[in-house]
Amino acid sequence: MMVVAQFLTLVVFAWFNRVAWFRILALRQQLAVYKRKSRRPMLRNGDRLFWSLLSKIWRDWASELILVRPETVIRWRNRRFLEFWRRKSQGKLGRPAIPNEHIDFIRRISSDHPDYGEDRIALELEVKFGIRHACSTVRRYMVKRPLGPTDSQPWSGRNNK
């Protein structure tokens, strides 16, 4: 019971004096960097992450910063944000690919029935097989045919004899 009361007292003290706790954390972190065995203290990724997080949760973080300039911490935070979203979206650009069986079926229908357009092929796929694809997707995979004399514009005057 005594340990729980001490813990709650510590939590309440930390809550009401959180600015003091943030200041202590910031100074201790910088002291730990200075205590490293190098002549010029080098910041590690953990140090950068610490300052990035502290700058998000504490309004007066820049007043206690000694090692680097506040602009550097903001640049780290922005870089981390860009890296996160780059990693998250890697390999998932554009529309998802449709299965090869669907592509083969679209090509077979468009070659067997040259009078079918992309809207009719998309409708056939949906009605008969329950496969839904946009007309633009069907058009992308249809067999391309060169324009013949019957496909040219009849109003141009060449075929009106």
> Do residues 81 and 111 both lie within one domain?
no
Residues spanned by the domain of 119: 100-145
**Closest-CA residue to 26 (of 57, 1, 4, 3):** 57
- Rounded to two decimals, the pTM is 0.48
Least confident of 65-69, 108-112, 119-123, 145-149: 145-149
Q: Which one-letter DSSP state was computed for residue 39? A: S
Class of residue 140 by CB neighbours under 10 A (exposed 0-12, middle 13-18, buried 19+): middle
In a domain, 19, yes or no: yes
68's CB contacts (< 8 A; 6+ apart) are 43, 51
Q: Identify whether residues 106 and 48 lie together within a single domain.
A: no
Confidence of residue 37 (pLDDT cuts 50, 70, 90): confident
Looking at the predicted structure, is the pLDDT value of residue 72 above 90? yes
| Domain match, 31 and 60 both | yes
Same domain? For 65 and 108 the reply is no
